[in-house]
Structure 1
Amino acid sequence: MSATPNAAAGLKSTRWALLFGNFVMGAGLQVAAGTLQDLARSLQVTVASAGQLISIGAVVVCVAAPLATWLARGRDMRGLLTVALLWFGIGHAACAVATSFLPLAVARALSMLAAALFTPQAAAAIAVMSPPKERASAIAFIFIGWSASAVICAPVSSYVGEVLGWPFAFGLVAALALLAAAVLWRSMPPGVTTPPVSVATWKAALREPALVAVVLVTALQGAGQFTVLSYFLPFCKQVLGATAAQVSLAYLWFGVLGVTGNVLLVRLIGRLGPVRSVNAVLCSMAVSLVAWPLVITVPALLLLVVPWALASFASNSAQQARLGHLAPQLTPALMAMNTSAIYLGQAAGAAGGGALLASHGMGALSWAGLAWMLVALALSAWAGRRLQVHGPRSATGAIV
């Protein structure tokens, strides 16, 4: 990118447009969890069965993200990302008019194909557009959209689901996606392309154990979070006896802290470095999971969730920045792998949490989440040490 004022202004508007796009993708994720109780009641399925909507979408993105990266090779990012947002909107509109669980599950699976394309390609595009020194913070910035969606979409979808019904919440996501498509088309300059992803690129990314380990950290921490977060609404209602207003307040509190944590990450990641930032957020989430059995009232929940909430969405931003920093030439492939890992973790957490919920009840969820998180922390520390001592084996131009 040229350093002219026009180029700088274009980069700034693109960053905000991609942030808004990620906000919409996060809204699509949040809407299923936020309306879980009404979905189960309306469609006459169990809460655990309704929770599998999260797993279904996650599995689709996990599988489709690498294929979407191949599809995106050499294409204009402006048009491709706009189409992804349009598809996301149409898919969620189809979800809103579904009258039974099976059509809803199919529509959700198809709509989440857009997330498989948008999330990694947005990160790859902003990495290409940004100066090298600003690359990590730029990637982290656009992922503020994910945490912002928790502030607004989780409490709003929870409240709308309780008051108006879950179809209205899905319809709201559809409208936001169409708006985001228009904003992105107007804001992003044409002609932005990402480095081509060849078979050699995938081999280079996959043959370095430390890079693969960093990607697996994303999946493991996601599983730890979503083992509990997928069933946050029924936990508040059934265990804490929370009202609809209290549940919305809890979601809002979690989201506000999530945005705060992500903003802090953008400011501090250049000083701390991506590796320390990732390890710090993993430790922070583990603290809350250790203390989770003490959550017996809504005030206790609001207090003990603070470390987790601050780190929750910052964790994905830190991981994306870490990968973009380690191997810039492999960014499209690594971002696709990391996106797959994000949703693999969500699928594993939602599915595993549902199985534990059915067999052992709510009390088992936090301990399972903690186990996932501790494994993620150990693997992250190992990968950091390996790259610091040995460096990447593959000739990728990586920097440690």
Structure 2
Amino acid sequence: MSRPALPATLWALLAGNFVIGTGVMVVPGTLNELSQSLQVGAATAGQLITAGAIVMCLGAPLLAALVAGWDRRRLLAFTMLWYAAGHLLATQMPNFGSLLLVRMLTVVAPAVFTAQAAACAGLLVPAEQRGRAVTFVFLGWSMASVLGLPIGALVGGHFGWRAAFGVIAGLSVVSAAWIWRQLPTGIRPAALSREAWGRVFRSPLLMGVVCVTALQGAGQFVLFSYFAPIVRESLGADATQMGLLWGWFGLCGLLGNMAVSRYIDRIGAARMVLVTTVLIATSLLLWPLAVSFATLALILVPWGLGCFATNSAQQARLVSLSPALAPGSVALNSSGIYVGQAVGAAAGGWLLAHDAAPWMNWAGLVTMLLALALSMAVDRAQRRAPAFSA
């Protein structure tokens, strides 16, 4: 028996996440070009990731409270226009300091969009389709990895990082128009009261899931943030080869997220998180064996399959735990993603600056194992309290 089709409006949200994800990942994708153009080291240029992640981390829950009563059609369309303006302004920045400031303002958009698109998707479908809808919308991030990231890396490698940022600005305008055309008016999730926010923060299950997300992000971004300069240094990769590697990684990411979207309601979000976390940890364990492009491509397969899929599963896990508190818990989960990116990028930058790049994968692996252990503990706690209702 075939499952009922998801509403067409979700495609606009998926496309928005595609543009958001492409814009977030354009910095690691063009890190070599940013470093050379702005005449700073790769570790310094990587702090664009750290600073942006801090803004997204703090902004996601704060802005979720601020925009709680806004019509989602207006909110999400305006957010994409803000994203367009920020990337366009970034192309005019003459030095690293000014670009850092503009970047921090620009990434206010991801702080709003990802969480609010997930919460909005949960309101557009029946309860039994929520997990599938949330993971479907998050496929946009996987598509960003398979198309947006390698295209951005290729454009940046051949025409400069400013051209890559300009492409994202144009895509953001198109996304804003699509959202405005497709989303119905009047989608206003009930604003979370102070008491409801308190319930989110006091829930060991919800906050445990958010902490798992933060550990996963940190474990990946220790190495992921500096993938371009490390591969260039170790394997002599040029811009075209880097684009192909990013595309391969993204294709694996897309397949992984598609698999999660198809099977998550059948096997459960918690189990899916365990599977995807193990996949990422496997690649980090095998990383020292990446002595050629062929071996590197093979090692990236499990990481790609788990990378974006695990975020989708975590979002769906929170929505299923408490749909009523999803606007708050999903926003906090976005903060978890970004705080993990900030910590991971900062730690990776420190290791790179101190000639300790070979330790990056081991630091990431230990962090992923901590995420795995915590996720299992949260799952056990949920099974002991099956009547949990946040």
Which of residues 12, 21, 27 in structure 2 aligns to 1:32? Answer: 27
Which of residues 51, 56, 78 in structure 1 aligns to 2:51? Answer: 56
Q: Deviations over 1:166-221 (max 9, x none)?
A: 00001111111111000000000101111211111111111111211111111100
TM-score when scaled to structure 2? 0.97
Structure 1 alignment gaps of length 5 or more: 1-7
Identity of aligned residues (%): 45
Aligned to 1:385: 380
Q: Deviations over 1:48-95 (max 9, x none)?
A: 000010111110010011111112222210001110010011011111
Aligned to 1:81: 76
State the shift of 1:391 in Å: 4.2
Query: How far, CA to CA, are the matches of 2:253 and 2:307 in structure 1?
Result: 6
Which of residues 159, 169, 172 in structure 2 aligns to 1:174? Answer: 169
TM-score when scaled to structure 1? 0.95
The answer to whether the 8 Å contact 1:357/1:364 transfers is no
Q: Structure 1's 392 and 25: CA in aligned 2 closer, same or farther, altered over 3 A?
A: farther
Larger displacement relative to structure 2 (152-161 or 328-337): 152-161
The answer to whether the 8 Å contact 1:13/1:188 transfers is no
Aligned to 1:251: 246
Q: Deviations over 1:353-383 (max 9, x none)?
A: 0001111432111001101100000000000
State the shift of 1:244 in Å: 2.1
The answer to whether the 8 Å contact 1:226/1:349 transfers is yes
Q: How many residues align?
A: 387
Which of residues 134, 155, 158 in structure 2 aligns to 1:163? Answer: 158
The answer to whether the 8 Å contact 1:202/1:333 transfers is yes
State the shift of 1:160 in Å: 1.4
Amino acid at match of 2:109: A
Query: How far, CA to CA, are the matches of 1:222 and 1:80 in structure 2?
Result: 27
SS in 1 for 2:191: coil
The answer to whether the 8 Å contact 2:214/2:338 transfers is yes
Amino acid at match of 2:12: A
Which of residues 319, 326, 337 in structure 2 aligns to 1:324? Answer: 319
State the shift of 1:392 in Å: 6.8
**Aligned-residue RMSD, C-alpha:** 1.2
Query: How far, CA to CA, are the matches of 2:289 and 2:240 in structure 1?
Result: 22
Which of residues 260, 279, 295 in structure 2 aligns to 1:265? Answer: 260
Counterpart mapping for 1:127-276 below 5 A: 127-276=122-271
Query: How far, CA to CA, are the matches of 1:287 and 1:74 in structure 2?
Result: 43
SS in 2 for 1:98: coil
SS in 2 for 1:364: helix
The answer to whether the 8 Å contact 1:55/1:347 transfers is yes
State the shift of 1:390 in Å: 2.4
Query: How far, CA to CA, are the matches of 2:175 and 2:376 in structure 1?
Result: 37
Amino acid at match of 2:367: W
Query: How far, CA to CA, are the matches of 1:316 and 1:224 in structure 2?
Result: 13
Structure 2 alignment gaps of length 5 or more: none
Aligned to 1:14: 9
